[in-house]
């Protein structure tokens, strides 16, 4: 069987693309991956997605998107894509379970993974909202608290400055004395009176109170190996993201960091293959912008299938 469209990825971009494709009678097949729902499955509260006036948990929102896609006839395969062959059409998709799929078109919506420190107890603290990789998503939940931002690039500067709107104080922790951030971004952060700096330090342990919430970090000075316990209420990691595009084996044009580049609206360098969401978006990285781009990719795909 040759499918009209195969959507790879089950975050907001993938589910939205499948809803639009299904309503267009394209009978889409969606390969969810093993991390069904993507990064939002670890987000405790989502308050900035339109339509949820009282907020919603990440898992609940992803379940509703799944149910909506299923309602219109999307077929789901709960496994990972091992590789795809973009050299000829229909495209040949090989899954981890050994199954092969043929499809006239593909929408890649595999997202990007935030980089974490992966210290002991980190996943549990992430689920409690004590450790985050998105200030826009989670900053509001930490009103008038002492916060930490880890990183040394432009993302660190953006996160730190944004968090000063809510926090009592923001402390930037960076392992080096120098920063990768652009001069203008760094100057903006350094001129903010609510931001303090601890350079030449790394976090080695998360320390919690009796309730299991983060209340300190164990720091080590990389110059003299001295250690200290530094109080905080939450930590935001701004040490980068990694797009989930390795399975493409460089068959689509990407930037130097592996993010898929668009050539014609949402179409990639290979005609018939489209991309949407965090695997291609290096700027916004929001659920709503990913969903919007999933809609665009579905509409572009439908038009391309009609014309071709």
Closest listed residue to residue 272, CA positions, set 26, 86, 100? 86
In 3D space, the residue among 22, 36, 31 whose CA is nearest the CA of residue 68 turns out to be 22
Helix (H, G, I), strand (E, B), or coil: what is residue 237? strand
Enumerate the β-bridge partners of residue 208: 214
What end-to-end distance do the CA atoms of the chain give, in Å? 19
Look up residue 271 and give its DSSP letter.
T
Half-sphere exposure of 149 (CA within 13 A, CB side): 31
Please answer whether residues 159 and 149 qualify as being in contact, where contact means their C-beta atoms are separated by less than 8 angstroms.
Answer: yes
| Contact present, 164 and 194 (Cβ < 8 Å) | yes
Residue with tokens 């200290």: 228
Question: Do 6 and 34 touch, CB atoms closer than 8 A?
Answer: no
Contact 261, 269 (CB under 8 A): yes
Which are the catalytic amino acids? Answer: 134, 137-138
Among 3, 35, 37, which Cα is nearest to 22's? 3
């Amino acid at each position: 069987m040759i499918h009209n469209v195969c959507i790879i990825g089950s975050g907001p971009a993938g589910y939205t693309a499948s809803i639009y494709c299904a309503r267009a009678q394209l009978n889409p097949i969606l390969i969810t991956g093993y991390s069904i729902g993507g990064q939002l499955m670890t987000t405790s509260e989502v308050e900035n997605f339109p339509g949820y006036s009282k907020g919603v948990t990440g898992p609940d929102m992803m379940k509703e998107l799944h149910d909506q896609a299923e309602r219109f006839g999307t077929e789901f395969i709960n496994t990972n894509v091992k590789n795809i062959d973009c050299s000829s059409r229909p495209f040949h998709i090989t899954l981890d379970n050994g199954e092969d799929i043929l499809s006239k078109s593909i929408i890649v919506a595999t997202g990007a993974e935030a980089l974490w420190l992966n210290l002991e107890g980190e996943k549990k603290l992430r689920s409690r909202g004590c450790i985050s990789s998105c200030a826009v998503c989670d900053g509001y939940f930490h009103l008038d608290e002492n916060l930490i931002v880890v990183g040394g690039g432009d993302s660190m500067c953006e996160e730190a400055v944004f968090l000063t709107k809510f926090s009592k104080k923001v402390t930037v922790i960076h392992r080096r004395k120098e920063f990768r951030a652009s001069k203008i971004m760094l100057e903006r952060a350094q001129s903010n009176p609510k931001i303090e700096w601890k350079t030449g330090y790394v976090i080695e342990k998360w320390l919690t109170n009796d309730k299991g919430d983060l209340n300190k970090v164990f720091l080590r000075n990389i110059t003299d190996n001295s250690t200290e316990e530094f109080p905080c209420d939450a930590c935001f990691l701004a040490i980068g993201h990694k797009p989930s595009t390795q399975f493409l084996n460089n068959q689509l044009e990407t930037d130097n960091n592996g993010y898929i580049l668009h050539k014609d609206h949402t179409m990639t360098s290979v005609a018939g293959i489209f991309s949407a969401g965090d695997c291609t978006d290096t700027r916004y990285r929001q659920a709503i912008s990913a969903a919007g781009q999933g809609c665009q990719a579905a509409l572009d795909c439908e038009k391309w299938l009609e014309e071709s």
